[in-house]
Structure 1
């Protein structure tokens, strides 16, 4: 209420770490093991100052303090287990970063920065993308999203620029696909724009799912139109009877439920399938296609009546959740 923020302290923060004086022989033993490890595994000397290594060792010491004389094999896992766990931990962090990026993306508070750097030892150039943003707590954050070797033989500026644009476009597409989940209605909205009706960048599975979604909704529209026609016909007949109009010729009587059996709408559903195929086979001059797809559907509402109704239903949904965006 007063604008100050509070953070919950860990219980261990109220206690000082136990200060232990090791014997000179124990210190020498640790030094020997460090040097043997670095020399045998050809590791840099600075690895012993790595924060991750120190946190790992400190956690092992804490576990041993709780359980006493723990075998190292019970704590540290082998290479295969560690390698297998990388993908699980990576997915966990990707999900966290994706969730953390959602609100900044909605508020246009994200910057994607491409960069290129070279490894002086191996003489390899790398391309990468960094995302910088300000979260809802007004904290500046930065994440390296990806990094890939630049293996093109042509190292000219023009080549680097062309490859970089292609690389960044693909990486950003992967990032957006990991953040946003596209559903059938999104593909249907794209399909119902005459400029993108062939869904060229989509997979066969996505295209087939989109067509099934469209045809299912066309069937529902056809059923509603059929029901509406039946009700209007009955209402008209009742009005004619009340006005004393001559009775129409006798028709074969049907039970009420028979009018709504699937057999009565089978032909209608066949027509809906024809509308999809007809729409895909139409020759449309690309010069006449405008950004607003509703212009097209207004013009073709007579020869594609069901698809035009579906286009009105889907394209009435706003692209954003707020009218001010």
Structure 2
């Protein structure tokens, strides 16, 4: 059996890990079971042709889409459906796709995340109008027509912002954080400079601004205005990227690993965590890199203390983005907490050291200093790194604005409901926002009930005579029990409820499933709020999967079949 597997893997150029695939083992077990039941039979009586499997993929995709429609219809009716759209271009086929992932909470208060489609995008400009048109076509297959009942999460691309301007749409937090880091380190400008010149050297102008003016320079937008010591940090960043590029091209990652290091990671614009991962890989392999390059008579101009300082500076961003990308449970409530933690960590050098001490998950023998804060090298913050710490803090305040939905997600989480560290104005606004959502649900239920009653009455009775209005009727407050009944008091009762913090689940939907009878309207509001993810990471993962399906060896797969494959992959994995 082992020899057959080796022969198959080598002849058909399959990865060795294919034998560990769950699907492969399920298929093999099914074949063994068939043999045990029916005896030794011809394999051709069991296996089907590639054409048959391809056709069956179409059939199964349509069948599972029909099943999914029922879940989506219920979520749509209850306002708990959120869609994350994005665009992707396959580099092998040069074909564009519109990906849409759905996040929704069902009537059992279970969160679902499914890749609805990787819809082939026609060869037209990716304008807001064309995006909206193709999005409508893609969603028709799931009977989603009224987009006013849908919430959207997307990046801040101008085309998507315009396409979704008439709907309830929120920005992807991870995209925003990534843009903050890119802007902080002038990544776009540095990239442009690299394209304009073969040299990646940063100019150290002695006539540049003095370090004493660093506080006034944190909001600058051009490399020419950066202080000299901050330019030195940027030079190290460029050298790190050049080093990783050389290691990849020369194929010496294996030698670095054999010398006690780890594989160096490349930084790419489309991967949110790749920049800090690159720095961490150099930090963890610094001695091994020096040893390997010394044997090859190569040197590199990278200072370990700068690399470690950058890792320390970006660690809070990494931890937050990892937290926000969860797809198994609600993540929206992490935004308010995470940004607050980020600002607190960056508020001072001591706070940053304390954060690193609590959250750094690895240590290196070549660490230049301990994390206890008593080493002389950590007693004073490097001026260049201080510039970028203050610049990050400034950019967070400038580029990130909280919306009411962020406060609401915390107030509706039993652990964070009292909005500690939040001002009274924001708390009051949050309560008003939640009450507005509650009233909308109550009005919708009353409207549905009235429509149903009128429909039944019209079939049994004559129309009742029109009631004559009396003076002042339009200004009456009506029955107080209708306007301010206990449905409107649910929020205060929830906030006043005594809860043992140690018994509360991390997943807020678990709490609301258990308390939906006690707080029926508020539970429905929570179902809507916690269906909204903090990021559009799900659709980004769809594109990564698409890149693994369409490879240089598999370029003949049709766009519609790719759509089917990615949908079934997500549907069966949920």
TM-score norm. by structure 1 comes to: 0.48
Q: TM-score, normalised by structure 2?
A: 0.29
Which structure is larger by alpha-carbon Rg, 1 or 2?
1
Q: Tell me which of the two structures has the higher relative contact order, counting C-alpha pairs closer than 8 angstroms and 6 or more residues apart.
A: 2
